[in-house]
């Protein structure tokens, strides 16, 4: 408890304006239900799982506490909807659904911009061992931590725990890739309903709708709802930030002739030179250039519209 009588906690789940907050006091760790003071609703501020909060007794038997203050956020994500994320477990199946590498690269850019450590997990290697190995090779060579998972050889709890330490780790990725299945195995529960894919829709009935932080080692892990689209422009990401998702490009950037080189065909570009020598994967390079050009054009169109 703080001097002013407030108790510090962390939101582990929020549904319909009611929040579960994990607190620890002399009697140990417990989870309590909380509402949130009206002032935060008026400000259009949306509390998220992962938020540090300060709570007070409300006097209401059904919802015994109220959140009266929030700690500063290190970061906040819309997809998945979470705050203070330390690790994103970017989960993509190698087959069914086929991996959307543009989405994966966008998530890597966002991780880089927000200072979140990404860990890539390619699932369903039982359906495509060769595909899993190819993809894993590409992303490992780029400089990322990559794991391969199948029902027979899932990602081990201990391996993941050693990586994520005391932080907040969140699964993220498209629907139907196996996030909930893996989360259940790691936590040893059936807490997350999994999504049995219907053959026709290739979408399941038990698609995840909420985030909920579960104790994991000294930190937390959460399953999250799947998503299929993401706009870097709408998230305010600049063309200059795209390289933050491409460590293999950043590695060469300091050798480019111009300090502000965009690595999109300039003279004396050391990244292009490395690419010509096959030191950078072709697909990754193409996606980098596509995002860079798209964001550069969007910015200029936006400026032009503002001038009118
Ligand atoms: N063959 C195979 N199937 C898997 C694997 N992992 C999960 N599945 C199946 O894929 C389907 C979707 O799994 P979920 O865990 O519900 O997927 P999800 O990513 O949580 O989906 P959303 O909640 O909609 O985002 C289920 O039928 C799982 O049994 C895997 O490694 N191999
Ligand atoms: Mg799920
Ligand atoms: Zn360059």
- Give the pLDDT confidence of 4-46 residue by residue, as tens digits: 779 999 999 999 889 999 999 888 999 999 999 988 877 778 9
Does the pLDDT at position 149 exceed 70? yes
Tell me, in angstroms, the distance from the centre of ligand 3 to residue 266's CA.
7
Instruction: Tell whether the model's pLDDT for residue 156 goes beyond 90.
Output: no
Q: How far is the CA of 259 from the centre of ligand 3 (A)?
A: 8
Looking at residue 58, its pLDDT comes to 93
Predicted local distance difference test score (pLDDT) of residue 299 = 81
Residue 267 has pLDDT above 90, yes or no: yes
pLDDT on residue 193: 65
Closest CA to 9 of 60, 69, 64, 61: 69
What pLDDT, on a 0 to 100 scale, did the predictor assign at position 203? 52
Q: Which of 107, 177, 197, 225 to mutate to test the pocket of ligand 1 (most atoms within 8 A of CB)?
A: 177
- pLDDT value at residue 25: 80
Q: Where are the domains of the chain?
A: 7-72, 77-223, 239-307
Closest residue by CA, ligand 1 atom 10: 178
Q: Is the pLDDT of residue 200 over 60?
A: no
Residue 69 has pLDDT above 90, yes or no: yes
* pLDDT(62) > 80: yes
Q: Which residues line ligand 1 (CB under 6 A)?
A: 123-124, 126-127, 149-151, 175-181, 194-197, 204, 207-208, 225-226
Instruction: Give this prediction's pTM.
Output: 0.92
- How many degrees, rounded to 5, is the angle at CA 120 between CA 116 and CA 121? 140
Q: For the domain 239-307, what is the CATH code?
A: 1.10.40.50
Q: Which pLDDT score is estimated for 268? A: 97
Query: What architecture does CATH give domain 77-223?
Result: 3-Layer(aba) Sandwich (3.40)
Domain 7-72 class in CATH: mainly beta
Ligand 1 midpoint to CA 73 (Å): 31
């Amino acid at each position: 408890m703080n001097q002013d009588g407030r108790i510090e906690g962390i939101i582990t789940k929020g549904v319909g304006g009611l929040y579960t907050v994990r607190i620890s006091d002399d009697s140990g760790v417990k989870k309590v239900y909380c509402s949130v003071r009206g002032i935060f609703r008026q400000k259009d501020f949306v509390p998220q799982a992962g938020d540090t909060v300060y709570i007070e007794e409300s006097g209401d038997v059904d919802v015994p506490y109220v959140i009266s203050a929030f700690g500063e956020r290190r970061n906040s994500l819309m997809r998945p909807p979470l705050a203070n994320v330390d690790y994103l477990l970017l989960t993509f199946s190698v087959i069914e659904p086929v991996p959307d590498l543009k989405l994966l690269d966008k998530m890597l850019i966002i991780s880089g911009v927000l200072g979140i450590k990404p860990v890539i997990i390619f699932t369903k290697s039982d359906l495509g061992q060769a595909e899993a190995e190819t993809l894993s090779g590409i992303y490992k060579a780029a400089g990322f931590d990559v794991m391969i998972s199948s029902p027979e050889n899932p990602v081990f709890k201990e391996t993941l725990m050693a990586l994520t330490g005391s932080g907040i780790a969140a699964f993220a990725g498209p629907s139907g890739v196996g996030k909930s299945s893996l989360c259940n195995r790691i936590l040893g529960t059936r807490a997350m309903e999994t999504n049995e894919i219907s053959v026709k829709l290739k979408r399941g009935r038990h698609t995840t709708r909420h985030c909920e932080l579960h104790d994991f080692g000294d930190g937390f892990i959460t399953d999250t709802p799947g998503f299929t689209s993401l706009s870097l422009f709408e998230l305010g990401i600049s063309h200059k930030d795209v390289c933050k998702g491409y460590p293999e490009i950043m590695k060469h950037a300091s050798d480019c002739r111009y300090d502000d080189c965009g690595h999109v065909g300039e003279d004396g570009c050391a990244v292009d030179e490395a690419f010509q020598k096959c030191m950078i994967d072709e697909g990754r390079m193409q996606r980098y250039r596509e995002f860079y050009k798209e964001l550069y054009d969007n910015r200029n169109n936006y400026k032009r519209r503002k001038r009118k």
